[in-house]
Structure 1
Amino acid sequence: MNNHLIFQKIINKEIPSNILYQDKIVTAFEDINPKAPIHILIIPNCFIKTPNDINANNKNIVAHMFYTAVQIAKEKKISKDGYKIVVNCNENGGQEINYLHMHLLGGVKLKTLY
């Protein structure tokens, strides 16, 4: 299934979304089904299917995703209290959309899964 096309449409601004940040490398926008008061997705503008597909050619994109998440956390004033960055991989890891994406969650005390 090509469920990753929704992210391409958000990047291309073909469907309405609350884009908070976009540059040549990444796009960040609010999750439509938030799990915390602040729930933002950060995605690369080029297609990377899963974390397993990170390689020598695209590893700097992932570093930029983390950098962007930290900058947004500071902007949203959750960096001091804390936040969670989550990246899921494949079905058993909870990845629902086959497009690498990072969840930035915060605004409340978050529980751990382990």
Structure 2
Amino acid sequence: MDCIFCKLANGEIPTNMVYEDDKVAAFRDMSPVTPVHILVVPKKHYTSLEDIALEEMDIIGDIHRAIRKIAAQEGFAENGYRIINNCGKHGGQEVPHIHYHLLAGKPLTKLITD
């Protein structure tokens, strides 16, 4: 498989890793849109949320636990952050490996209005 996120998450390509455990890796985005822009990915390849078998959905909890640890470790948990997951072509997903954008470091504007 020629997946860039698999290679980054598993250390085949050097990256600025900020968090790693046996299931999840997180590294700084090479084109950040906020002062803090971290990509959080499972080490196992899943194309998107729709690709995860129901019996493997625990990986989503693992990702969210990692995000909480990263927010505390990087010092932005108290001020807040945004988590974005784009799912599929119409959802804006560009890399076919499920990933979460963890954005922080400045006040973020509201995306959806009431």
TM-score, normalised via structure 1 length: 0.91
- Over 4 Å off, 4+ runs: none
Identical positions, percent: 37
Equivalent pairs counted in the alignment come to 112
1:23 equivalent to 2:59? Answer: no
- Could you tell me whether the CA contact under 8 Å between 2:10 and 2:43 is conserved in 1? no
Q: Which residue of 2 aligns with 1:67?
A: 65
Counterpart CA distance in 2 for 1:90 and 1:35 is: 21
CA shift, 1:36, in A, is: 0.6
Counterpart CA distance in 1 for 2:16 and 2:105 is: 18
Matches within 5 A, 1:17-56: 17-56=15-54
Aligned counterpart in structure 2 of residue 5 of structure 1, from 3, 28, 31: 3
Counterpart CA distance in 2 for 1:33 and 1:58 is: 30
Counterpart CA distance in 2 for 1:11 and 1:79 is: 23
Counterpart CA distance in 2 for 1:42 and 1:73 is: 12
1:103 equivalent to 2:101? Answer: yes
Unpaired runs of 5+ in structure 1?
Answer: none
Match of 1:64, SS state, is: helix
CA shift, 1:24, in A, is: 1.1
Unpaired runs of 5+ in structure 2?
Answer: none
RMSD (CA atoms): 1.4
Give the letter for the 2:103 counterpart: L
Counterpart CA distance in 2 for 1:111 and 1:50 is: 26
CA shift, 1:66, in A, is: 0.5
Give the letter for the 2:51 counterpart: D
